[in-house]
A = this chain, B = another copy of it.
Amino acid sequence: MLDAVLTELAEHGYDGLTMDAVAARAGAHRATVYRRWGDVGGLLADVLDAAGEDDWQPPDTGSLEGDLAALNHEIQDALTAQPPIMAALIAASFRSEKADHAQRRLWEDRYARCEAVVGRAAERGELPPRTDARRLLIAATAPLYHQLVLLRTPPDPDLPGQAARAASLAAAAGAFTGPPPAGDA
């Protein structure tokens, strides 16, 4: 069923995605599909939740910049894949509240897993104390999303590495350190 949703979404986009077409493609009864998923947003939310139920782990290359560059390459590949599943799911998140919430759950889960990259870098002594993992990860990955999803510039093979390097340099310079813990003042 979820494969049928992805195929329909890739072929027709959100506007062409219908419960009936998904049911037909999956060989399921219309009534069953409506009862279980309610609407297209429910189907998309299940697709997104299922995507999060994998054992994906962030790259482990031995350096912060290397890990972030490898991560950014994965993001660029996903955002420019054909058929454009990830791009279609992001677009759908502007249309359906259920898809929006599921998309946010998926990103939250992915960023949480990526915090391991920052933890390893801290253990290797690559980062100043109290570096905020999430802020660093957002800074490293945001240019990819901004260029490919919003500005819609053609993919630039140098961008994943450049964005990783910029975030690593900023992190080393203390851009993502938080205030000292309470009591230190």
A interface residue numbers (CB < 8 A to B): 15, 90-91, 94-95, 100, 104, 107, 135, 138-139, 141-143, 145-147, 149-152, 162-163, 165-167, 169-170, 172-176
Contact = CB atoms under 8 A, between A and B. Distances in A.
Contacts of A150: 90, 107, 145, 149-150
Contacts of A100: 152
Given A135-B162, A145-B146, A170-B170, 15 more contacts: A15-B95, A94-B94, A104-B151, A138-B143, A139-B143, A142-B142, A142-B147, A146-B146, A165-B175, A169-B169, A169-B170, A169-B173, A169-B174, A169-B175, A173-B173
For this chain, the copies found in one complex come to 2
A163 B175 CA distance: 8
> For the complex, would chain A's binding face be called helix, strand, loop or mixed by DSSP majority?
helix
Nearest to A143: B142
Nearest to A158: B135
Nearest to A169: B173
23 contacts: A15-B95, A91-B94, A104-B151, A107-B150, A107-B151, A135-B166, A139-B139, A139-B163, A139-B166, A142-B143, A142-B146, A142-B147, A145-B145, A145-B146, A145-B150, A149-B150, A162-B176, A166-B167, A166-B175, A166-B176, A169-B170, A169-B173, A170-B175
